[in-house]
């Protein structure tokens, strides 16, 4: 007779511990709950009127996107004077207003804009901007320009706020190699994966076989009743069990849906397809995180930046179509940001150097599309850089408050003004 604890027994015993209030390491109860019905637990701070099944997808445009060549002030002579080689010709710009337009490679998201499913928030930045990629990305990811709470990210602090499904190991899913600081939480929730095929227990080569080893892995990492293990071992076992639960759940979600929409053959589009699959598969996830890189266009910017904008527009618009086909478009908001914009003037290498303020983009069926904030002046500059008009934490506060149903003041440390895009 086996003495091991099967998954079913583990769930049952874990839930029993919750029910009778037995003192147990918290991860046991969390993992047991997570293995039960994920959307039925931890309704701690649900706010009336804010559905619990809303999802945020964050797109990080790493490297510093050139906002001026993305949302283009095509009637402004100062733009053309500052960029004799890089400025987008007026006739090529996709007009949004009489003064502003999108880069021609953003045609696919212009369709979303016209439907009211895209908001452009102009001139976003923060006081005393850093031109270091590392520092500025850290500031955006922690929402903390003063560096007070640098250990945890703004999304991680949301996870720590005991939001609905925040106890789930898959509450945050990063599609990439390493978990971004933005999702770093005190409770350690969230998973990172790049390839779902490798996001699972890998058995030994020429060993007993995958199924048998998986069972033994679970047995070895299940909590031993009555054993008070040191905190570090407890933490690692917790992490291993979370990874295992997440792996099973992610692969089950992915296997349950095949998109009928064709994505482009780019890394970013693949990430968005994976996220769409996980959403369709009802993974209990509040925040997904996707990455684009290569926006650091110091030299020969034209082709590189154009290609990146095409990838962004293609990935987001196809993702939106996929969500519409699923019937999930009104549950998802996409927030795209970069750690800084570029300087107004082009440099001597047909590129642009690190700057400050830039536009952010928000996509979703449930948002109020349009332009928000003012286009920064191209003549009233600060050391050759654009002055920001909207603090990026106001955008975060809007998303946290209006979309996620959380209290932004608790997460961001200050009650930032909201922007009206939701």
Query: Which part of the chain contacts another protein (CB under 8 A), choosing from 20-28, 76-84, 197-205, 249-257?
Result: 197-205
For residue 230, give the 3-state DSSP assignment.
Answer: coil
DSSP string, 92-109: GSEESSSS-EE-GGGHHH
For residue 197, give the 3-state DSSP assignment.
Answer: coil
The CA distance from 78 to 140, in Å, is 29
The CA distance from 366 to 368, in Å, is 7
SS3 content of the chain, % helix, strand, coil (to 5): 40, 15, 45
Comparing CB distances to another protein, the nearer of 20 and 205 is: 205
Query: Which part of the chain contacts another protein (CB under 8 A), choosing from 23-31, 142-150, 220-228, 412-420?
Result: 220-228
Q: How far is the CB of 417 from another protein (least distance, A)?
A: 46
Q: Does 227 bind another protein (CB under 8 A)?
A: yes
Q: How far is the CB of 82 from another protein (least distance, A)?
A: 54
Q: Does 213 bind another protein (CB under 8 A)?
A: yes
Q: Does 216 bind another protein (CB under 8 A)?
A: yes
Question: Would you give the DSSP letter of residue 186?
Answer: T
Strands 55-61 and 332-337: parallel
Q: Does 217 bind another protein (CB under 8 A)?
A: yes
Tokens matching residue 188: 């350690």
Q: Does 204 bind another protein (CB under 8 A)?
A: yes
E strand map for 31-117: 55-61, 71-72, 94-95, 101-102
- Sequence-distant (6+) residues with CB within 8 A of 203 are 209, 210, 213, 214
Query: Which part of the chain contacts another protein (CB under 8 A), choosing from 72-80, 149-157, 199-207, 380-388?
Result: 199-207
Which of 78, 94, 150, 240 is close enough to bind another protein by CB under 8 A? 240
Q: How far is the CB of 219 from another protein (least distance, A)?
A: 4
Query: Which part of the chain contacts another protein (CB under 8 A), choosing from 217-225, 326-334, 355-363, 399-407?
Result: 217-225
Binding site for another protein (CB under 8 A): 3-4, 203-208, 212-213, 216-217, 219-221, 224, 227, 232-233, 236-237, 240
């Amino acid at each position: 007779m086996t003495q091991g604890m099967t998954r079913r027994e583990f769930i049952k015993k874990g839930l029993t511990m919750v029910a009778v209030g037995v003192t147990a390491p918290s991860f046991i109860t969390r993992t047991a709950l997570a293995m039960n019905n994920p959307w039925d637990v931890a309704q701690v701070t649900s706010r009336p009127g804010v559905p619990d099944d809303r999802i945020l997808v964050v797109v990080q445009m790493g490297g510093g996107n050139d906002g001026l060549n993305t949302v283009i002030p095509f009637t402004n002579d100062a733009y053309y004077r500052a960029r004799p080689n890089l400025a987008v010709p007026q006739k090529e710009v996709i007009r949004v207003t009489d003064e502003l337009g999108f880069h021609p490679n953003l045609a696919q998201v212009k369709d979303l804009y016209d439907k009211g499913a895209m908001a452009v928030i102009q001139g976003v930045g923060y006081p005393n901007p850093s031109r270091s990629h590392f520092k500025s990305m850290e500031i955006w990811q922690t929402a903390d320009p003063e560096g007070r709470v640098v250990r945890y990210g703004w999304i991680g602090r949301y996870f720590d706020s005991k939001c609905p499904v925040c106890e789930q190991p898959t509450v945050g899913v990063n599609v990439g190699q390493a978990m971004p600081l933005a999702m770093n939480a005190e409770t350690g929730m969230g998973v990172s994966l790049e390839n779902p095929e490798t996001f699972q227990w890998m058995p030994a080569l020429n060993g007993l076989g995958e199924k048998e080893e998986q069972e033994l892995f679970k047995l070895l990492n299940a909590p031993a009743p009555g054993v008070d293990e040191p905190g570090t071992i407890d933490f690692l076992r917790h992490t291993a069990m979370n990874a295992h639960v997440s792996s099973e759940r992610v692969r089950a979600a992915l296997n349950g849906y095949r998109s009928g929409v064709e994505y482009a053959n780019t890394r970013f589009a693949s990430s968005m397809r994976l996220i769409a699959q996980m959403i369709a598969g009802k993974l209990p996830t509040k925040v997904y995180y996707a990455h684009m890189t290569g926006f650091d266009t110091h030299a020969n910017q034209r082709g590189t930046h154009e290609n990146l904008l095409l990838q962004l527009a293609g990935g987001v618009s196809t993702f939106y179509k996929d969500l519409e086909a699923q019937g999930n478009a009104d549950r998802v908001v996409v927030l795209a940001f970069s750690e800084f914009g570029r300087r107004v003037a082009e440099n001597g290498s047909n590129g642009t150097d690190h700057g400050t303020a830039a536009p952010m983009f928000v996509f979703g069926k449930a948002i109020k599309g349009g332009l928000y904030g003012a286009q920064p002046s191209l003549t009233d500059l600060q050391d050759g850089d654009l002055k920001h008009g909207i603090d990026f934490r106001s955008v975060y506060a809007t998303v946290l408050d209006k979309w996620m149903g959380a209290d932004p003041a608790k997460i961001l440390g200050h009650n930032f003004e909201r922007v009206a895009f939701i």
